[in-house]
Amino acid sequence: MKFFLDTANIDEIREAAETGLIDGVTTNPSLVAKEKRPFEDIVKEICQIVKGPTSAEVIATDYKAMMPEAEKLAKISEHVVIKVPLTRDGLRACKTLREQKIPVNVTLCFSANQALLAAKAGATYISPFIGRLDDIGQEGMALISEIADLYASQGFSTQILAASIRHTEHIRQAALLGAQVATMPYKVFEQLYHHPLTDSGLQRFLADWKKTQA
């Protein structure tokens, strides 16, 4: 499974990238707004830090406005992936962008039928929002499973990018169900390292070693 960081915070991205475990980055208008910096400047800097897919989302909601915005973002770096919403116009833009060999991440997916449409439009990635489904009492992981089965049965190459991840269990389950990518907040990435037995075991080893040096 590839690990993407879901943030627009340069400090978080730089620190996570130093581990060598981050394969890409996803951003969205809400994350960018927190940084109070020009969007294109942020995307450019991210691409310089992480030499992997960086999802940059269009703000326009209609096809004619999406296309010039997407094409401008794609020129920032070869690593830019255009992020479009799962709407009629978004999928139309996805189809056109893929014909231009520009990678596309179709976001805000909440059903297998939507995922099917995105794959038919040629999406590079489909982003099912598992946490938001959990929030309303539905099973986010059930959607990951359905999409994985659907894509396998139909031979689609679109990668499942598990999004709206709230905790490490989401990552484990998504990996087991066949999602190729998980995008996560920095704090969740940090939590992956930890287990109470690892922490206590290390402290014991260090304490025992200290005794041998007495």
Q: Tell me the catalytic residues.
A: 83
Rounded (5°) CA angle 195-164-43? 105
The 3-class secondary structure across the chain, one letter per residue, is: CEEEEECCCHHHHHHHHCCCCCCEEECCHHHHHHHCCCHHHHHHHHHHHCCCCEEEECCCCCHHHHHHHHHHHHCCCCCEEEEEECCHHHHHHHHHHHHCCCCEEEEEECCHHHHHHHHHCCCCEEEEEHHHHHHCCCCHHHHHHHHHHHHHHHCCCCEEEEECCCCHHHHHHHHHHCCCEEEECHHHHHHCCCCHHHHHHHHHHHHHHHHHCC
Nearest of 138, 133, 134, 125 to residue 183 by alpha carbon:
125
